[in-house]
């Protein structure tokens, strides 16, 4: 399987991704602002508006990292669980929650590919900028489907491939030249950001990823592209 520019054994990928996020955890929030010019905030706002958490619902924010999505859903009457494979990312999130006086979130370490939650236990499943880091994406999608109740909704925010002519090339040039440098400057770590950029380039395009979601059992799948699909919200329902 691909790990950035390299190929690694399937058994190795999850550990390598783990090293990346352990390395970037402390600087993760500042780096997002630096790399996206603050735009990730708008994408996440829009994403959470689509999810619309309702009173009494159980929501699973998978690959929730330092809590950006969960914090945007608060205050809410829903019960939100933030799950992530990486303890360091969760630690940063728990500290941020404490600073903000948010004590209603449940934080738990979990691999999206094999969840220990009961079948049909959530009303909504969200995953933002997480799925492309998962080694076995079909396994994660099928687990998402399993843990959702009937009528449950799936939402994924992820980088994709823009269809705007020229914009893709511009973005490619920006991301390959500048992002590792910004990573070096802010986080002292260019390699992790090289991986993150390359993982974006290798992620399936919108129609392909939508069909993977359908294959996992979701219906009424939809894609909402932003900036021509540079970033996209994919969604679907479990019936
Ligand atoms: N959702 C957060 C956000 O939007 O700011 C964090 C996104 S961060 C780019 C990606 C996260 O995916 C990391 O916290 C990483 O630990 C997590 N991750 C990677 N592989 C995972 C897996 N197999 N299961 C659960 N989380 C995973």
CA of 215 to the centre of ligand 1 (A): 22
pLDDT tens digits along 200-227: 999 999 999 999 999 999 999 999 999 9
CA of 165 to the centre of ligand 1 (A): 30
User: How far apart are the C-alpha atoms of 218 and 232, rounded to whole Å?
Assistant: 17
Helix axes 28-36, 39-51, angle to 10 degrees: 100
Which residue stretches of the chain have pLDDT < 50? Answer: none
CA of 174 to the centre of ligand 1 (A): 23
pLDDT at site 5: 80
pLDDT at 2: 85
Burial 128-156 (b: 16+ CB within 10 A, else e): bbbbbbbbbbeebbebbbbbbeeebbbbb
Q: Which of 80, 116, 125, 130 to mutate to test the pocket of ligand 1 (most atoms within 8 A of CB)?
A: 130
Contact yes or no for 59/53 (Cβ under 8 A): yes
45-60: per-residue pLDDT in tens? 999 999 999 999 999 9
Write down the pLDDT at residue 144. Answer: 99
Residue 103 backbone dihedrals phi, psi, to 5 degrees: -125, 20
Residue ranges of domains in the chain, CATH in brackets: 2-237 (3.40.50.150)
The pLDDT of residue 4 is 81
CA of 54 to the centre of ligand 1 (A): 24
Please give the backbone phi and psi of residue 96, each rounded to the nearest 5 degrees, phi first.
Answer: -65, -40
Q: Which residue from 17, 36, 84, 132 has its CB within 8 A of the most atoms of ligand 1, so it is best to mutate?
A: 84
CA atoms within 13 A on the CB side of 99: 9
Instruction: Using CB atoms within 10 Å of the CB of residue 170, give its burial: 0 to 12 exposed, 13 to 18 middle, 19+ buried.
Output: exposed
pLDDT of the residue at 11:
85
Distance between CA atoms of residues 16 and 4, nearest Å: 10
What local confidence, expressed as pLDDT, does residue 127 receive?
A: 98
pLDDT for 1-22, tens place per residue?
888 888 889 889 999 999 999 9
CB contact at 8 A, 222 and 236: yes
Which residues form the pocket of ligand 1, taking CB atoms under 6 Å from any ligand atom? 17, 21, 63-65, 68-69, 84-86, 89, 111-113, 128-130, 133-134
How far is Cα 129 from Cα 61, in angstroms, rounded to an integer?
Answer: 11
Whether 69 contacts 130, CB under 8 Å:
no
């Amino acid at each position: 399987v691909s790990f950035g520019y390299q190929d690694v054994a399937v058994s190795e990928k999850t550990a390598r991704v783990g090293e990346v996020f352990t390395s970037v955890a402390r600087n993760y929030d500042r780096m997002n602002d630096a790399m996206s010019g603050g735009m990730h905030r708008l994408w996440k706002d829009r994403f959470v508006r689509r999810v619309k958490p309702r009173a009494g619902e159980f929501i699973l924010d998978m690959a929730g990292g330092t809590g950006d999505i969960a914090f945007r859903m608060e205050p809410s009457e829903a019960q939100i669980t933030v799950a992530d494979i990486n303890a360091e990312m969760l630690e940063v999130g728990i500290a941020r929650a404490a600073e903000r006086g948010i004590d209603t979130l449940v934080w738990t370490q979990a691999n999206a590919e094999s969840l220990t939650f009961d079948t049909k236990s959530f009303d909504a499943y969200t995953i933002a900028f997480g799925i492309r880091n998962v080694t076995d994406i079909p396994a994660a999608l099928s687990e998402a489907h399993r843990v959702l109740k009937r009528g449950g909704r799936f939402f994924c925010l992820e980088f994709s491939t823009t269809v705007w002519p020229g914009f893709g090339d511009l973005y490619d040039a920006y991301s390959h030249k500048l992002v590792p440098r910004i990573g070096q400057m802010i986080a002292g770590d260019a390699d992790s950001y090289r991986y993150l950029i390359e993982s974006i380039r290798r992620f399936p395009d919108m129609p392909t990823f939508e069909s993977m979601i359908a294959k996992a059992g979701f219906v009424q799948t939809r894609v909402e592209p932003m900036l021509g699909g540079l970033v996209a919200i994919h969604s679907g329902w479990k019936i």
